[in-house]
Structure 1
Amino acid sequence: MKKVIVVGAGVAGIAAAIRLQYLGYEVEIYEKNDKIGGKMNQISRDGFQFDVGPTIVMMKDIYEEVFTFCNRDPKDYFTMEKVDPMLHLYFSKNEPLSLSSDLSQLVPTLESISEADAEGFMAFLSDIYKRYLIAKEAFITKSFRSFWDFYNPKSLIAGLKLKTFNDAYSSISKFVEDERLRKALAFQTLYIGVSPYQGPSLYTIIPMIELFYGVYFIKGGMYGFAKGMEKLFLELGGQLHLNTEVEEILIEDGLTRGIRVAGEEIYSSSVVVGADFPYAMTQLIPDEKKRGKYTNRKIDQMEYSCSCFLLYLGVDKKYPVEAMHSIYFADDFKKNVDQLFETGEFPDDPSFYIYVPTKMDESLAPAGHEAVYVLVPVPELSKYDDWSAEKVAQYRQQILNKMKEETIFSDIDEHIVFEEHFTPVRFEKEFNAYNGATFGLKPTLKQSNYYRPHNKFAYADNLYFCGSSTHPGAGVPIVMQSAKLAVEELMKDDPSI
């Protein structure tokens, strides 16, 4: 039985490990932290449980597929429930919107704005669905080894059909006039860390996926899914080494031999890396000559997604929460986004997201209490790095003041009984996110598909990569797809198959 080492027990790493273990390999995961999940982690204390990172479940079939691939029933590992309404959107000077994936509820909402916008909204969904099907077949489900894997007539024709050269916001504006609807369809590019005013229009597939396929909640929070994957991996016979940091990936004469841990060399037939690709290049392959084009200078020059400032607030009061997921838009959304990606400032009037999982699972807080998760998009560390205790306290108060003024949490500061926060510095330190960029490399045209780090490493045999900074990109379902592609690449190279 061939031994495969997986570096990192984040979503991508453990998904790849499950597949490989089921396929008959002897798999060992090495994870530096004391539990699995990577950014899909959990804060659990004083009766409160908070998801650290991702909170919105889209494309539920992909979550389930890693279990059905192993002939297991996903329901034996985690419980999923549909969320409706999916989102409540709040605007400083306009009426809020409630978005439902139920067509009979969505259409009246759109018609209340105007019939022209309702028609345009549906036309937008039709247009982006067609482009999504092209992208899925030609790019998302395929990996790229060579120039010709991408530059061939079929791929080039598909690329032209995708119409990727417009930015997301401009593309949406061709279909709808109402500014609220434009923002509702555009802001979700921030889910993968890119500006809607710069990111390719293809990324407007995100709201389409939410509306067509629904948004779901996992009982126990997103970490319930991570624990379900851990359970499956161990059942299959995999070995998990926690609190074990990998120091180096061993490469000799262009061949990957294994890893170094605490000075000890551990050998394997292949290595799959789920750690953030830029971190892996600079820290796990210290000899630049072994990295091909990925020199330190190249890594620094690459573009990175935004990061997040998060508040986890346990409160001793129940609030009349309308929706589990809510977005509050800055008065000047364009300025807000420019501060994230252009000027590199903590936004003076930030947009923010509130997630209240206790609306659907009261076990996540003590009786009569609420778990309130607040996320503010902020610049990554190469653009802004002042996260001193004084600044964090200032930003915390700024966000609490906005919550008191703009949300139902008008007295939240009087009821906080538990509090923790996450900054870009913590994302960099705890999860090896390069520059603290929560979503990895920014998905620009120059950093997508063939131009994104490949799943099979070109400069050393038997080395494979998955995760948000590799192809196909960020977001939990897409990261899980990267794990699938990395495994497929490894199997192509296995002479015994």
Structure 2
Amino acid sequence: MKKVIIIGGGLGGLSSAITLAHAGFHVELYEKNRHFGGKMMPIQLGDYSFDFGPNTITMPSVFKQVIEQTGERADDYFEMIKLENHTRNIFPDGTHFDFSSNQQTVLSQLQKVDPAGARHYDSFIKEITRLFKLSERYFLPRTFRSWRDYASPSLGAAMMRVRPLQTLDSFFRSYFSNPRIIEAYNRYATYIGSSPFQAPATFAMIAYLEMVEGVYYVKGGNVKIAEAFASLAKKMGVSLHSESQVKKVLVADNKATGVELQNGEKVMADHVIMNADLLKAYPELVAEKDRPSFKNDKVDKIDPSISAFVILAGINKRFTQLKHHTVYFSDDYQQEFNDLFVNKKYSAKPTIYICNSSHTDPGRSPKGDNLFILVNAPALPPNGKLQIEPVAYKKLIFETLSSHGLDLTQHIVEEKIITPSDIAAQFGAHRGALYGVSANRKKDAFLRPQNTSKDIKNLYFVGGSTHPGGGSPMVTISGLNVARSIIKMEQYNKIS
């Protein structure tokens, strides 16, 4: 029986573990934190339950596939609830626009505020559907092992058909004329940690996921997905080790042979999968001499994605104006992105996202709203020093919300601040970035770090910092892709 060691128990590592164990591999998974699921982390503050992230769930079939490939029923592990009218976008003038997977709901709003957008909406839906279907067919299922995979004629032809030279902002402007509506759609760039004024229009496929397939929530919290994966992994025979940190990857003759744990124990294996931030974990766990294609100075040249400044607030009342997902937009959205990506600083006029899962699931906080409040933040500077004073920035956020008519300060029962520094420490995220490499440059958008080491045989990478990218469905897909690649390779070796 072939043995696989997985470093990191996020969704990518867990999906790999389940897939490999079901195929008959012996799998050992080591996670430095107490919980499994990576950023899909539960937080309890008194009577208030929170998901650290992700708060928006799309592509439910991906999560179900991980479970159902084993013959189990996903419905036995979690209950997914579709949020038809999922996001309320609120603008500085007090108007709002609701995102919905019900196209008639969106059209009726557009007819009032953006008649041109209403006329083009059907074409818009067709185009974002085309973009997603191309990605789904040619890009998402691939495991990129070398530059030759990128040179595939079919992939190259597909890449030229997904608007790689147009920006997201330009794409949305070709369908909508109301600046506020364009801003609302431009926010999809933040889902990949990038700017709509730089990221390619290819990522308009994110709009397809929300506006066509729909947004979901898991009853009891999205963390139930991670709990389901961990439970199934154990059932499949995976040895899950929490609070077990890996010190180094063992390499002999340019081949990964196992790992050394923090306590000095060495564990040998035929394959090693790294489900951790590639930009941080690879340099830390593998000696530089063993990775000549990924020298330390290469990391310094990489443009990291944005991070986040988060406030968890347990409130002693229900605010009816807050839906499950609510966004309060800045009055100068383009300047906010300039601040984040050009000036590398926190915006003085931030756009504020709030997840209120108790709107859908009151049992998560019986005494009032459980608010996950997020503002986009720049990645930490190279010196790792946080650029703002957290309490002062929290005050600015609450003052901004108060100017929108949402006065929370008198109703806060529980509170916790999470900064990019906390994200870097908790999740081993390079400079606190949420999505690894930003997608602002065309090369970084399409040529994500590969899923295998160029220098070390049998060392693989899964997670948001490698192909196919960030976000819980993509991370899960990366785990599935790598596991299936290993299975296929071992089957071929056995036959030959």
Same topology, TM > 0.5: yes
SS at match of 1:421: strand
Query: Are residues 1:18 and 2:2 paired?
Result: no
**TM norm structure 1:** 0.96
CA offsets 1:257-281 (integer angstroms, 9 cap, x no match):
0000021211011111101111122
Deviation at 1:128, TM superposition (A): 2.2
Of the structure 1 ranges 308-317 and 99-108, higher mean CA displacement relative to structure 2 is found in 99-108
Tell me, in whole angstroms, the C-alpha distance in 1 between the residues paired with 2:383 and 2:299: 18
Specify the code of the residue in structure 2 equivalent to 1:53: G
Specify the code of the residue in structure 2 equivalent to 1:477: P
Deviation at 1:29, TM superposition (A): 0.7
Query: Are residues 1:434 and 2:433 paired?
Result: no
Tell me, in whole angstroms, the C-alpha distance in 2 between the residues paired with 1:385 and 1:400: 26
From the superposition, tell whether residues 448 and 337 of structure 1 become closer, same or farther in structure 2 (CA, over 3 Å).
closer
Deviation at 1:36, TM superposition (A): 0.7
From the superposition, tell whether residues 331 and 163 of structure 1 become closer, same or farther in structure 2 (CA, over 3 Å).
same
Specify the code of the residue in structure 1 equivalent to 2:414: F
Alpha-carbon contact 2:199-2:445 (below 8 Å) kept: no
Deviation at 1:322, TM superposition (A): 4.5
Q: How does 1:244-323 map to 2 (within 5 A)?
A: 244-261=244-261, 262-285=263-286, 287-323=287-323
Tell me, in whole angstroms, the C-alpha distance in 2 between the residues paired with 1:69 and 1:321: 41
Q: 2:450 matched to which residue of 1? A: 454
Alpha-carbon contact 1:6-1:27 (below 8 Å) kept: yes
Alpha-carbon contact 2:7-2:30 (below 8 Å) kept: yes
Alpha-carbon contact 1:456-1:490 (below 8 Å) kept: no
Query: Are residues 1:472 and 2:468 paired?
Result: yes
1:487 to 476, 483, 486: 483
Alpha-carbon contact 2:45-2:314 (below 8 Å) kept: no
Query: Are residues 1:381 and 2:380 paired?
Result: yes
Tell me, in whole angstroms, the C-alpha distance in 1 between the residues paired with 2:266 and 2:367: 52
| Alignment RMSD (CA, Å) | 1.6
From the superposition, tell whether residues 62 and 428 of structure 1 become closer, same or farther in structure 2 (CA, over 3 Å).
same
**Identity level (%):** 29
SS at match of 1:187: helix
Tell me, in whole angstroms, the C-alpha distance in 1 between the residues paired with 2:271 and 2:218: 33
Alpha-carbon contact 1:345-1:384 (below 8 Å) kept: no
Tell me, in whole angstroms, the C-alpha distance in 2 between the residues paired with 1:318 and 1:144: 47
Deviation at 1:145, TM superposition (A): 2.4
**TM norm structure 2:** 0.96
Q: How many aligned residue pairs are there?
A: 491
Q: How does 1:126-141 map to 2 (within 5 A)?
A: 126-141=126-141
Please identify runs of 4+ aligned residues in structure 1 that moved more than 6 A.
Answer: none
Deviation at 1:398, TM superposition (A): 0.5
1:416 to 412, 430, 434: 412
Deviation at 1:6, TM superposition (A): 0.6
Deviation at 1:383, TM superposition (A): 7.0
Q: 1:178 matched to which residue of 2? A: 178
Tell me, in whole angstroms, the C-alpha distance in 2 between the residues paired with 1:458 and 1:328: 44
SS at match of 1:455: coil
SS at match of 2:221: coil
Specify the code of the residue in structure 2 equivalent to 1:131: L
SS at match of 2:371: strand
Deviation at 1:9, TM superposition (A): 0.5
From the superposition, tell whether residues 368 and 94 of structure 1 become closer, same or farther in structure 2 (CA, over 3 Å).
closer
Alpha-carbon contact 1:344-1:383 (below 8 Å) kept: no
Q: 1:368 matched to which residue of 2? A: 367
Tell me, in whole angstroms, the C-alpha distance in 2 between the residues paired with 1:50 and 1:94: 28
Tell me, in whole angstroms, the C-alpha distance in 2 between the residues paired with 1:323 and 1:317: 14
Alpha-carbon contact 2:260-2:266 (below 8 Å) kept: yes
Mark the runs of 5 or more structure 1 residues left unpaired by the alignment: none
SS at match of 1:216: strand
Tell me, in whole angstroms, the C-alpha distance in 1 between the residues paired with 2:104 and 2:175: 21
SS at match of 2:85: coil
1:406 to 401, 404, 407: 404
SS at match of 1:271: strand
From the superposition, tell whether residues 383 and 324 of structure 1 become closer, same or farther in structure 2 (CA, over 3 Å).
farther
Tell me, in whole angstroms, the C-alpha distance in 2 between the residues paired with 1:133 and 1:117: 23
Q: 1:93 matched to which residue of 2? A: 93
Tell me, in whole angstroms, the C-alpha distance in 2 between the residues paired with 1:310 and 1:206: 23
Q: How does 1:227-238 map to 2 (within 5 A)?
A: 227-238=227-238
